[in-house]
Amino acid sequence: MRKARYINANGKLLDLSTPCVMGILNATPDSFYAGSRMQTEAQIARRVEQMAQEGAGIMDVGAYSSRPGAADVSAKDEMERLRTALGVVRRLQPDAIVSVDTFRADVARMCVEEYGAAIINDISGGELDKDMFATVARLQVPYVLMHMQGTPQDMQQRPHYDSLLEDVFLYFARKVQQLRDLGVKDIILDPGFGFGKTLEHNYELLAHLEDFRIFELPLLAGVSRKSMIYRLLDTTPAEALNGTTVVHSICLLKGADILRVHDVRQAVEAVKIIMKMNEKGKGNVL
């Protein structure tokens, strides 16, 4: 049996004893996977309804593309995009658990206070906005702490580690302590696949994903349609669904609690299959 894990999302306990699928809604014109770009209200509405119908437990809304080399987006533009997207989500799915993908403290505060966002998903681990940790602590919302080397503009130029796993573990240990000292109660770890990592780095993280259980915190895996899949298979993001499902299954077997995905239905199916196998297995430790 998997160990029971819960996060407090807007006063509701989200049970992660069954892994949760976090569906991606990109209110951007330039995300790396063209199929995920939703800009008009009609496009956003279709995506929201699709994710709800297919079983997304969390809807992750972002308005700043973090693909390698992405152009910078002003805080004003990010807020305007998020207001449009979050307004649609709240109108169509008022009870949805919403995560906001932002590294800016003022954007996070606006999304929580004005639109009831339940989770802040920060690719920078507080590195790109020194006020983020204190803001999350004041808002008392769960926080996705991700590891990234560099920034979206330069992270893939020459990523290097003396010891990848040691560096990432020490990073998490330091950041988790900082968040705990500020009173942040719900912390979710994301190793940051594709963020300042080579193809080899990504598969080293995948091979050791279960080692992150030492922190005894929920673990998020964000691998959907990323270059670690399509470059290895010599395809494109659009052709990477099958490879993504394979990697999602591996992540689940290694203890991932949340899958951040473009393709909700396929990820939900992977969760169901892995959970049924675990139910029938003996001595399962997840």
Residues tagged active-site: 226, 260
Q: Strand 6-9 vs strand 12-15: parallel, antiparallel, or unpaired?
A: antiparallel
- Cβ-Cβ contacts under 8 Å for 80 (sequence gap 6 or more): none
Report the candidate in 240, 202, 235 with the shortest Cα–Cα distance to residue 221.
Answer: 202
Enumerate the β-bridge partners of residue 260: 22
Report the candidate in 41, 24, 20, 42 with the shortest Cα–Cα distance to residue 33.
Answer: 24
Burial of 159 (0-12, 13-18, 19+ CB in 10 A): middle
Enumerate the β-bridge partners of residue 258: 20, 220
Task: Tell me the one-letter amino acid at 242.
Answer: N
- Cβ-Cβ contacts under 8 Å for 182 (sequence gap 6 or more): 133, 134, 136, 137
Report the SS3 class of residue 88: helix
Q: What is the distance between the alpha carbons of residues 265 and 244, in angstroms, rounded to a whole number?
A: 13
Is residue 140 left, alpha or beta, with left meaning phi > 0 and alpha meaning psi from -120 to 50?
left
Render 245-259 in DSSP notation, one character per residue: HHHHHHHHHTT-SEE
